[in-house]
Homo-oligomer: A and B are copies of this chain.
Amino acid sequence: MESQKVFQITHTDSKTKARTGLLHTKSGTVKTPFFMPVATKAAAKFINTPQLKEIGANVIISNALILHLNPGEKLIKKLGGIRKFMNFHGINVTDSGGFQMYSESIYLKSNDIGVHFKNPKNGDKIFMTPEKNMEIQLAINSDIAMCLDSMPMYEESKTSIKEAVRLTTLWAQRCKIHHSKLQKLKPKNRQQLLFGITQGGIHPDLREQSIKDLAKLNFDGYSIGGFGLGESWKEEMKIVKLQKSILPENKPIYLMGIGSPIEILEAIGLGVDMFDSRLPTQNARRGTLFTSIGPLKLLNKKYEHSKDPIDKKCDCFVCQNYTRAYIRFLLREQEPIGKELASYHNLFFLTNIIQQARGHIKSNTFSKFKKDFIKSYKN
């Protein structure tokens, strides 16, 4: 797809860099900014696909590497691609799984050609190349694929991070070439989009190098990778600004792994368009719920008898029908329905905040909206 057709900015806020847009994919168009619930294994945890629709979660992200290990991309292809496989009538994004391959327990070694790692299920050795990763994501047939990146760990030396940036660029080039080659016979409107992922940790010089290298490759969008490993939000914000300053305005920007309401609003204010994180659902299962006045630790004894909904200001199905006392009881008892209700609320809350943000961007009141939200949301 030509980039101007992939992403259209529909409005830019008058006071910040926040913008609303339309992202066009082969499975439909979605309004930006948006948040993607994580569906690593082709299913969100405790939230089924009609519920995702109800919540207004129009885009989800699964993991190509995890799905490659099981059930395998061949099965998903045979079943009609991930959209049909999991019966999700929205837009499917796949992450390449670079992040997972570099986890200590399975990583073996990497070189210019690819990454050697162990299958965590059976110990089998696997060699993953950028080309193979593109083939997997195309077989899965997601709407947006991610390049295979090389993941530096936060605590690694600057030299290792520099090496990761070098490999990430090298692989991004090969991803782009192979991905284009594999799709060239498809009509533009049936093609999978491909996003580059920048690395470089919190080092502005390395990150700048990574962004500039990838910018040359003209990806459909650009992800900011390698965060969520211990760096501060302030450090992340600097990198977001840097990435925005180098890339053309008409490229969608995806900040990977960020799922807290305040950080999302701050990032939207800097012009970020896409988010994903496992935190909203993971926290929900562990009893931390979003509310308009800040996170609620529902397992706290003081909510034992509470007849209140999780958030009095929330319109979601859970807040309209269930009490804190009931959900707290179910979570303490590890009852699946407790996890479901908590997860539903957290995803609804986040989706709803971003939907409101879109409205405020359009009416040039985003800045005040963000300020007011942050003022009442006590961490």
Contact = CB atoms under 8 A, between A and B. Distances in A.
B41 A79 contact: no
A374 interface: no
Chain A interface category by residue count: 35 or more
Contacts of A330: 41-43
State the copy count for this chain. 2
Given A87-B322, A326-B86, A336-B336, A307 B79 contact: yes
A44 interface: yes
Given A70-B333, A329-B71, A48 B79 contact: no
B70 A323 contact: no
A339 interface: yes
Contacts of A113: none
A197 interface: no
A304 interface: yes
Given A304-B75, A323-B79, A329 B48 contact: no
Contact of A305 (B49, B78, B326): B78
A325 B75 contact: yes
Contacts of A71: 304, 325, 329
A70 B329 contact: yes
Interface in A83-109: 85-87
Interface of A: 41-50, 70-71, 75, 78-79, 85-87, 304-305, 307, 317, 321-323, 325-326, 329-330, 332-333, 335-341
Given A43-B335, A44-B337, A70-B329, 18 more contacts: A41-B329, A41-B330, A42-B326, A47-B337, A48-B337, A48-B341, A49-B321, A70-B333, A71-B329, A75-B304, A75-B325, A79-B305, A79-B323, A79-B326, A87-B322, A87-B326, A336-B336, A336-B339
25 contacts: A41-B329, A41-B330, A41-B333, A41-B335, A42-B330, A43-B335, A43-B336, A43-B337, A44-B337, A45-B336, A45-B337, A46-B336, A48-B340, A70-B329, A70-B332, A70-B333, A71-B329, A75-B305, A79-B305, A79-B323, A79-B325, A79-B326, A85-B326, A87-B322, A336-B339
